[in-house]
Structure 1
Amino acid sequence: MENPDGLPPENGFPAQQRPQVVGFLLVPGFALMSYAAAVEPLRAANLISGKTLYRWWHSAPGGEPVIASNGVAILPDVGIGAAREVDTLFVCAGGNPAVFDDRNVFAWLRRLARRGVTLGGISGGPYILAKAGLLDDRRMTLHWEHQPAFSEAFPDIAVSPSLFEIDGNRITCSGGISALDMMVALIERDHGRQLAASVGDWFLHTHIREGMGPQRMDLRFRLGVADKKLLRVLHGMEDNIEVPRSRADLAALAGVSVRQLERLFRRHLGRGVHHQYRSLRLERARQLLRETALPVLDVAIATGFGSSSQFARAYRRAFDEPPSQTRCSV
């Protein structure tokens, strides 16, 4: 792409041979694994090809060393808003991206978008792109942990449960190891299948996943359940959090009686239908308390409770603290 900053090509590369420049905006609390899975394939592509196909730099709000979620610090080399050559900028975020509110960062991202820079978000990074108004009418994804809060904050933006999405000059990724799958796909797009396969092989990643692959482990493995009838009900529960389905509806979904359904749950999960469903709803509530500013009553309604008092009692029994304490501890 044409250099939007009007700067000469760096390192003496002719324009047609210029390496692609990738920027990483690291937000405090970013997941180190997601970032490493995105940057390391660029290094491998250079090494395997014997060419400088990619260069990269780092930026962070405030320009200070930025601390990852595991405590590792990375020193940024580009300030927010700096006139630095870039083709693609990835926002790497974790923790609670819903509370990020740096107007200088949002303005910078919008300026880059106007100049035609491809913008990407990894893990919680898409949340920040959305807060900057840069994901409207775009196909997108983000880490499953952030999806409930994101959908509450941006009800008009459809979230895909995929590993990554490439929609023109917007790229979003659910994070973790899926960032490696995404970068291999981008390397294949830019430099061919052979180099992309070699990069995957370099990292012992022998099965490169397509972007539309599922983010989460199948319920069969996540809960250690193989019974097909029970699995249909569990999926039905996950899909109906705000308006919980009755035990009779769930039993009909499995094609069994309510009594048979209760026996299935106790045999395979060691708890009854009501207990399992309430636990699932309360876990969703805890996510919303941690990642949104929704009033407690709204969280209660979004997770199928009729009142804030009913919700608070159930929440305290489950987590040994009131909802307000969960929010304050974040």
Structure 2
Amino acid sequence: MMWTLTTGKDWASLREQFNWVRDMEDVPQDPVHHAEGNVAVHTRMVLEALQQLEGYKQLPAQEQEVLWAAALLHDVEKRSTTVHEADGSITSRGHSKKGALTARQILYTQIPAPFFLREQVVQLVRYHGMPIWAIERSDPTRMIIETSELVNTRLLSLLARADALGRNCSDQSELLYRIDLFEALCQEQDCWGQPRGFQTPHARFHYFYKEDSAPGFVPFDDFGATVVMLCGLPGAGKDTYVQQHYKNWPVINLDEIRRKHKIAPTDKSGNGTIVQLAKAQAREYLRRKQHFVWNATNITRQMRAQLVELFVTYKAYVKMVYVEVPYARLHAQNKDREAVVPKHVVDKLVSKLEVPAVWEGHEVVFVAG
């Protein structure tokens, strides 16, 4: 069965169904770049422009729906990031990143979408402006290769083109030219509509982990211990996954350490102590080249990166496993845990959730029930 965000796609229906659509009407935009008006006017124009693009018409129905949903949500967080600057201009810095988190929250908790479709919508929202700005980056090739690992660049280009066409501005032709350059660079780097290929998983990890690495470089596989790093919200089933697949491996479980030392999950200073104790145990395993499991939520990229840095310092092979279950089941399983996390705390974690990228570890596995 095909997933749809909604069957009522006329603007009146959208406005009635979703408060975040209604919010768009109260969000102004800078007239230099958006003379058409507020975010609601712009979003309607983007949707209309998208559906007129030949590339969109040629897509399978499910990909059309994914792209349409991303277009509707692409500026959802201008409502929280729009600022009137001292010089009279209007800006909304950070709206793409925050909008991606909101899109994930909506499509997980309110309008459930299959995991991989949801993440395509999320990443389209996150990177919708990238095709226009990529050529201004210090290393546009690296940015494009990285983006291709997260989202279909062909769909991203269509969204960016609709975004440029769905506005009134004096530099529209320049925006479209920049998108043409983005497409050409994607094709040149073999990541047009697909991730760029790497010869080995280690080569991919090395490229993204080492800033000065070339995409064609293949490092020698000289690994010590294997670290299985669990990621997922409380109640997602991480403990069950460990029991099913790594029953005989030593496990560093932050919840168990917390219970042992009687430190509440809400105790921030205490949590720091827990992490340090866990890292000390990890270093012992790493020095002995002993395989082990690191079992914690690890829901943000920053949190995961700090741990990966520790593990690879000891030449560990990092296998990252992201575990997810539907939202209702998440709360049901959380209630059955020995240490129940309050519902409002779980929901706050949902709002911060960043699903791992495939290049964050030597191997990244998604277990989405």
TM-score of the aligned structures, taking structure 1 as reference length: 0.32
Higher RCO structure, 1 or 2 (CA under 8 Å, sep 6+): 2
TM-score of the aligned structures, taking structure 2 as reference length: 0.30
